[in-house]
C-alpha cells in the first residue's frame, strides 16, 4: 500500500486534481484534496449550486469541445503511464477556480473500487476487453451529457428547442443501443461523428477507438491546450512509479480483466436463459390459449346445421306436435277403423318415397317408432287393447 500512496501523492497534471494528503489504515483510506469551489461538472449541468444564477445553464459548442479536450488530455497522460481512471463520470470531473477541468478519484482503481458505469459497460465485450476502452466508453457517456446541454446559438439550427431540465438531463447509458436514432438534431457533424465512434452499436460490437484517435478527429482541430512539457510549474506533469508499483499495477490489470470477462460471460449466460424462458413462456401461453378456446370451438360446430341422425335431441323433438305418430290415426275411405300397431311403423306416405339421404330416412323411422313423450296412460292402454 505504501507504493500506492507514493504514486498517488506524486501524481501531477494540469487536468488531474492533485492529492494533498493520503493516509491508509486497516479500516480504510483517507485523502485530502483542494476544495473545488465551483463544484463538479455535474453540478454545472444540473445547476445544483447556489452560485448558479441560471437554473438550466446551457453549454456552448466551444465549451463542450474545450471540456472534452481537457478530459481526453488527462486520460492520455494516465494511459501513457500504464494507468487508467476506470470511474470517469460527471460527478468526479472538477472545475478549478480558473475554470479548467480536473479529473478526480484517480485513486479508486488502485484501491479496487467498483466503477460507476460498471453495470452498463459489462454488457459489451468490446468495452470491457481493456481498461483503456472502459475510459473511452465512460468519456462517451460524459460527452453525451454535455451535448444534451448544448445551446441553440452555437450548436442548433432550431429556435424552438426547449430549455427545460427534463428534456436535457437524460441518463445517457439508456441510449447506447439506439444512439443513432436518438441523437439530437441540433448536433453538428463533428460532434455527431465523435459520439457515434464511441456509443454507436457498430462501435460497441467491434472495437472502440483509443484516446489518441479521438484527439486526432476534426472536432479538436484548431483547439490548442498549454504545452505540458515545458518547465512551467502550473503545467508540469510528473508521476513516480517504482518497480513494486509497476508489478502491482500489472497484477491489478490482470485481475480486473479476468473479473470483467467472468462477469460478461455470466451476463451472456443469464441473457440466454432469459430468452429461453421467454420462448417457453410464450409456447405455454399459446397452448393454454388453445385449450381455453377449444370448448368454444366445439360449441360453434354444434350450432351449425347438421343431419338429424348426428345432432343431439333438441327441445323441438320432444314436443308432441313434432312427431308423426298419433294414437288415433285417420280411418281409410272404406270406413273400417284400423289401429296402427305400436311395435310396427306406420305406412309411409307418398312424400316419404321421394329420394332422400339414408340418415334422414333412418331418423324418421326411429322418430315414428318411439311413443310420444306427452301421451297419457289412458291413450296408451286403449292402443294396446285395439291391437289385441
Q: What is the CATH number of the domain that holds 266?
A: 1.10.510.10
The answer to whether position 105 is within a domain reads yes
The answer to whether position 121 is within a domain reads yes
The answer to whether position 59 is within a domain reads yes
Strand ranges (DSSP E) for 39-109? 93-95, 101-103
The answer to whether position 328 is within a domain reads no
pLDDT confidence tier of residue 111, bands split at 50, 70 and 90:
confident
Exposure b/e, 302-335, CB count within 10 A at least 16 = b: eeeeeebeeeeeeeeeeeeeebebebeeeeeeee
Mean pLDDT of 118-139: 83
Mean pLDDT of the chain: 70
Intra-chain end-to-end CA distance of the chain, in Å:
123
Instruction: Please state, in angstroms and rounded to a whole number, the distance separating the CA atoms of residues 19 and 234.
Output: 15
The answer to whether position 199 is within a domain reads yes
Query: How many residues belong to the chain?
Result: 388
The confidence score (pLDDT) of residue 163 equals 35
Q: Cell 311395435 identifies what position? A: 343
The confidence score (pLDDT) of residue 102 equals 92
Mean pLDDT of 312-332: 47
The answer to whether position 159 is within a domain reads yes
The answer to whether position 248 is within a domain reads yes
The answer to whether position 318 is within a domain reads no
pLDDT at residue 377 greater than cutoff 80: no
pLDDT at residue 93 greater than cutoff 90: yes
pLDDT > 70: what percent of the chain? 57
Per the model's pLDDT, the better-predicted residue between 372 and 65 turns out to be: 65
The alpha carbon dihedral of 149, 153, 157, 163 has a sign of positive
The confidence score (pLDDT) of residue 221 equals 83
pLDDT confidence tier of residue 368, bands split at 50, 70 and 90:
low
The confidence score (pLDDT) of residue 75 equals 93
Task: Tell me the backbone φ, ψ of residue 368, rounded to 5 degrees.
Answer: -75, -30
Instruction: Please state, in angstroms and rounded to a whole number, the distance separating the CA atoms of residues 127 and 133.
Output: 5
- Give how many domains the chain has, as a whole number: 1
- When mean pLDDT is compared across 87-101, 210-224, 343-357, the lowest value belongs to 343-357
User: pTM score > 0.85 for this model?
Assistant: no
Exposure b/e, 51-66, CB count within 10 A at least 16 = b: eeeeebebbebebbbb
Q: What residue numbers bound the domain in which 69 lies? A: 2-225+240-275
* Per-residue pLDDT tens over the stretch 188-205: 788 888 888 888 888 888
Amino acid at each position: 500500500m505504501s507504493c500506492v500512496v507514493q504514486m498517488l501523492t506524486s501524481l501531477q497534471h494540469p487536468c488531474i486534481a492533485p492529492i494533498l494528503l493520503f493516509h491508509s489504515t486497516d479500516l480504510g483510506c483517507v485523502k485530502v484534496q483542494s476544495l473545488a469551489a465551483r463544484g463538479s461538472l455535474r453540478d454545472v449541468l444540473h445547476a445544483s449550486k447556489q452560485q448558479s444564477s441560471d437554473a438550466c445553464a446551457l453549454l456552448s459548442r466551444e465549451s463542450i469541445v474545450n471540456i472534452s479536450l481537457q478530459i481526453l488530455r488527462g486520460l492520455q497522460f494516465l494511459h501513457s503511464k500504464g494507468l487508467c481512471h476506470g470511474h470517469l463520470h460527471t460527478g468526479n470531473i472538477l472545475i478549478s477556480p480558473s475554470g479548467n477541468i480536473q479529473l478526480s478519484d484517480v485513486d479508486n482503481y488502485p484501491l479496487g473500487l467498483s466503477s460507476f458505469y460498471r453495470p452498463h459497460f459489462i454488457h459489451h465485450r468490446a468495452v470491457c476487453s481493456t481498461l483503456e476502452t472502459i475510459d473511452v466508453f465512460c468519456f462517451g457517456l460524459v460527452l453525451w451529457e454535455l451535448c444534451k446541454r448544448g445551446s441553440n446559438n452555437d450548436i442548433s439550427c432550431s429556435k424552438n428547442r426547449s430549455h427545460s431540465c427534463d428534456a436535457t438531463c437524460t441518463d445517457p447509458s439508456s441510449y447506447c443501443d439506439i444512439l443513432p436514432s436518438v441523437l439530437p438534431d441540433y448536433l453538428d457533424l463533428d460532434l455527431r461523428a465523435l459520439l457515434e465512434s464511441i456509443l454507436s452499436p457498430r462501435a460497441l460490437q467491434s472495437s472502440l477507438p483509443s484516446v489518441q484517435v479521438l484527439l486526432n478527429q476534426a472536432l479538436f482541430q484548431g483547439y490548442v491546450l498549454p504545452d505540458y512539457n515545458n518547465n512551467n510549474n502550473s503545467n508540469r506533469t510528473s508521476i513516480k512509479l517504482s518497480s513494486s508499483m509497476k508489478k502491482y499495477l500489472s497484477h491489478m490489470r490482470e485481475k480486473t480483466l479476468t473479473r470483467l470477462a467472468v462477469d460478461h460471460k455470466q451476463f451472456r449466460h443469464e441473457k440466454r436463459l432469459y430468452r429461453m424462458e421467454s420462448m417457453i413462456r410464450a409456447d405455454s401461453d399459446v397452448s393454454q390459449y388453445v385449450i381455453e378456446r377449444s370448448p368454444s370451438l366445439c360449441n360453434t360446430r354444434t350450432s351449425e346445421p347438421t343431419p338429424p341422425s348426428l345432432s343431439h335431441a333438441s327441445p323441438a323433438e320432444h314436443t308432441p306436435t313434432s312427431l308423426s305418430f298419433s294414437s288415433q290415426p285417420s280411418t281409410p275411405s272404406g270406413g273400417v277403423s284400423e289401429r296402427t300397431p305400436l311395435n310396427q311403423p306406420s305406412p309411409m306416405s307418398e312424400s316419404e318415397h321421394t329420394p332422400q339421404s339414408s340418415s334422414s330416412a333412418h331418423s324418421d323411422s326411429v322418430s315414428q317408432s318411439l311413443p310420444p313423450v306427452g301421451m297419457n296412460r289412458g291413450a296408451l292402454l286403449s292402443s294396446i287393447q285395439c291391437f289385441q
